[in-house]
Structure 1
């Protein structure tokens, strides 16, 4: 069973709470910061990705936060069935574990990366670590800090979207990405992709260390919080 929140996240949340209380006491917190804290968009409301050409950092806008209840596990081969998905990449079964585990109640944050960047750069921004951190280390940190999702959780997000839920999942042909565990210590995560266009759902998996730079406009889903502690 995947844990929904790590000790690192709990420590980060305590520090953020202490900072909020201090600012509130001395009157130095802005109205927007207060609203953001009360919405519980922490501990990484706006992870930053560097604009290499400009040498500046740009925040990831948060599109939505979605609560997921406990999700029962099931075989990977039964995820994204062809009865609903017009395209299902064979790499889903080839690269991922045979079983998708049960997961606890959690919150999924949907981000909109604002700049053209690679998956590695997105991960570094989410983790607040240097972009030159080895990809294996980045993958391990994504797993350890509870930022990966299972395919079953992704299916749950798609179902909520179909029912009109404000999940931030794009249904206009743009891709929705999320980090998935591979079970391989040397290559801990891959990146799953789901898209919807003209009544056609598609799903596949891509390599985390791909050098391809994705344009701004895609959605990135990140498991981020332990809802039981909200």
Structure 2
């Protein structure tokens, strides 16, 4: 009896430990984590990526794009300088789904981004000298015209990815191709001096641009595995 009691006392903790251990298949999956540096049409940025399942991962990140350009224009006796600026900055949460086990390098990507800065701006400044009703005016006296369009807000995203989401070892690269669907743009026209009345064109300007709501994304990701 003593031997049986001793055996039960020794075996009881082992039995408890065995019950607490998950099945071998359930404990085999180890969630990968990586960080990727991104570059493409939505600028440069970075994402943290977490693998929930073998075929499902999510990423949280941000990207920034600022483009400035200057140009000189001349038409019908009118010369001017113009400056253009595009500024797109967003934070996003995306999910990557591998729909086919046999195609690990193909992913469907969906989610949304919040564009806290999404503006396009053109400023036109006349140059040279002009004669209006026997008055000679310089470009500075005529004034400047500032045109702005913005898409700030939440934008759903849909696309697909090529190549594996996570590196097998330490590093890989993959591609994203897709599009954001932006909010309907808001527009603004501000003129100075003799160009002040051009602000009346704002409703037509808004009407002309209301269909510009797609932001294509072509992005290269440099992916570094953390875990």
TM-score normalised by L of structure 1: 0.22
Structure number with higher strand proportion: 2
Relative contact order, higher structure (CA 8 A, sep 6+):
1
Which structure has the greater CA radius of gyration?
2
TM-score for the superposition, normalised by structure 2? 0.22
